[in-house]
Chain A
């Protein structure tokens, strides 16, 4: 065969057959970056012999799944943030799962009431303060950040980022919409600069002295502490970590989840269930802490020793689905106060 024909056949092959599934595969739509999920998938394939195929995108995968309908090749959906999981369920894109293992491993406030999605790891929204310039005894609750004392001293990521929107939703759930909006307005008036940057950048700003207080996801603290860049390690050294709302009568720190579900038109359901069960099991649950400083969703697994070292927070126990339901209300408040 001439080389031209070979090339042509290869192209035809890629175009028309690359999407077809063969035996022992599972196809994943993932909102998590490949470099974070690959370590899990490698172990999974090694243990089960099931090959994994991944499409990663931060946005729009739910719309893709919806548009593809019954032609979709997807089996498993992996996301970060409860809001995204909720959208899949809202669009009826998830299959109710009947798995004893999953129901055993994942507590009920971290899963869908319809068994369509399961939380797989937890992250906490925490306060970081400058070791030098802030007396930690003055900040016990997330509500304290509205005190006029902190005027011009807080840095923040834009309010409409999923993490802040979820935090806002948790405050609405706890205190009601009106009080939550008052809090947000006061919080915004305390900002040292226009909301910008990601969680990492907030810690950097404290290090630089642009502000003294910020809100971040707990795992960013670990990522900075163990960064390859010695400078980022320095940033982490300049801040204290405060878990908010830890008082005896208080609700606990706001948590969010990463999670997964099975696509409603999945053609490899058994493999898909196997993958989710694997992710909720001991090996994976330990990996979440090791790779990304996240807390295991499975209560039988204890968090990594590094996480234990920072202190294990008391968690806000409201059903996680409430956070998703209040998301749009939270966004409206964020728009109104200009966070």
Chain B
């Protein structure tokens, strides 16, 4: 496996200004995070002592258990399902291929609401069990408590595994078939010797997203009262009126996630794979016998059912129960606004993460690469905390602007950014940059170095290489990242709630005003719409993947 790009890379850095673009973009993205660090640098008024003596250990243990539990389940579900649909032919494979992505459209906290109603003591499941077995009360039988750590792991796993699934699947499809053939010749297990190592960057990128999502989740853990660090952050901030200590906890959690990521990147650095043969990825899928085919179908069915079909059915049945007068005109406006903001947001993310990921990879040295990595970690903060970083950042820019404007026009006290939709778009980019960046970055690492080397030797300029070589090869990664970002923005709640302009609603905020009061009947129709609108990008992605026939 050739690796001469490094040497070439260094030579080019010296005489172009390409690296300035990712540096500047990353600086903007990192700005709000720095602002959060500044917020955290104040005096915490001895609160750590109190926390250490009382609740801190509980917060940490719960957070770790939640992360480990969800990680294990999403790896089994996501990688397992991705491997099956990309390597084998079984009943319903084509259908599962895209059905498996659908749970990504379901916000975890809404699924938590629906499942609590379904699985708790008064819910239909336990009612049926009681009627069937003749039990009278809760003391006569054991049933897992849905409002618990286990419940949170369950709910989060089934809505978050698509992050791993989508990225792993893209990677499995792109793995050169020659590698699999070699493995077969040597009678090695194709999954462990080829599939998994090649897809590792993609799988880890997906897993990192899942972990960041878990550590920053507030809605689900609040509803289930699982006392994680994020729940603690809010108790300290709102309960003790101590934003400094709250942001310090957020930063500790953040550093923890970043440390994990760096350990993984370091351990991966020693292993480089790239295909030096002509790319031949049109793998023939292995036809399975009937019994095995059924097992595969069931394995794929379970996450689709629990992460998508059942929550939809539950929400649907709730939405029928209410006679709440829906303002249809308002609701359709909300749908349009949601699609618009998710569209603008995800396109911005794709553009920015392409620029940072591609240029940093080919042009940047170690520092720039680390910096662009770091700038895509906004995902690890709880949404509301990151939103505060954004507010401080925007406030600084606006104050600077009015200072200058006052100098020119006289008394001028109106910012350009505060209260506009640009604040929201910046927030989405900072938070979900990880989604686009992770996907594109893992795509870039899979491009064989010799292709780039050859292009350089032919004297092609960098921008042409990007356009003609890199871009076509990572198109699927870009689309996968864009899809995830779109769905993520549609579901996003805490930042949208806090940063939006006046009278602006997305489906998530519209749903929340009811869900906040546990008015699940009123909340279920807009919640269903979030999920339905989330299907649009999934369908586009699916159609696109078929057209290009990887």
Contact = CB atoms under 8 A, between A and B. Distances in A.
Given A71-B402, A160-B235, A229-B321, A34 B419 contact: no
A56 interface: yes
Nearest to B56: A335
Given A19-B420, A71-B398, A208-B121, A60 B387 contact: yes
B323 interface: yes
B513 A335 contact: no
Contacts of B392: 67
A197 B240 contact: no
A332 interface: yes
Given A67-B392, A73-B418, A196-B147, A210 B121 contact: yes
A242 to B, nearest CB: 23
A162 interface: yes
Given A54-B502, A67-B394, A71-B414, A327 B240 contact: yes
Contacts of A210: 121, 138
Contacts of B148: 194
B240 A332 contact: yes
Nearest to B387: A60
A265 B418 CA distance: 13
Contacts of A15: 420-422
Contact of A59 (B54, B238, B323, B514): B238
A69 B55 CA distance: 35
Given A59-B494, A327-B239, A328-B242, A71 B121 contact: no
Interface string A152-175: 000000101010010000000000
A197 B147 contact: yes
Interface string A40-72: 000000000000011111111101100111111
Contact of A335 (B55, B121, B509, B514): B55
A61 B498 contact: yes
Interface in B244-269: none
A72 to B, nearest CB: 6
A8 interface: no
Nearest to A337: B54
A328 B387 CA distance: 24
A70 B501 contact: no
Nearest to A194: B225
Contacts of B504: 55
B280 interface: no
Contact of B513 (A33, A59, A69, A200): A33
Contact of B501 (A19, A33, A160, A162): A19
Contacts of B53: 336
B503 A228 contact: no
A63 B240 CA distance: 15
Interface in B489-531: 494, 497-504, 509, 513-514, 516-518, 521
A67 B241 contact: no
B535 interface: no
Nearest to A196: B225
B240 A331 contact: yes
B323 A228 contact: yes
Interface in B351-373: none
Contact of A160 (B121, B239, B499): B239
A313 interface: no
Contacts of B238: 59, 83, 162
B59 to A, nearest CB: 10
B234 interface: yes
Given A210-B138, A335-B54, A35 B513 contact: yes
A207 B321 CA distance: 20
A54 B509 CA distance: 13
B422 A71 contact: no
Interface of A: 14-16, 18-20, 27, 33-35, 53-61, 63-64, 67-73, 83, 86-87, 90, 158, 160, 162, 165, 194-198, 200-201, 204, 207-210, 223, 228-229, 265, 327-328, 331-332, 334-336, 338
Interface of B: 50-51, 53-55, 121-122, 137-138, 147-148, 224-225, 234-235, 238-243, 321-324, 384, 387-388, 391-392, 394-395, 398-399, 402, 413-416, 418-422, 494, 497-504, 509, 513-514, 516-518, 521
26 contacts: A16-B416, A33-B513, A55-B501, A55-B503, A56-B509, A56-B513, A58-B497, A59-B238, A60-B391, A63-B391, A64-B391, A68-B398, A70-B402, A71-B418, A73-B419, A87-B241, A90-B241, A158-B225, A196-B147, A197-B518, A198-B517, A207-B122, A223-B517, A327-B239, A335-B54, A335-B235
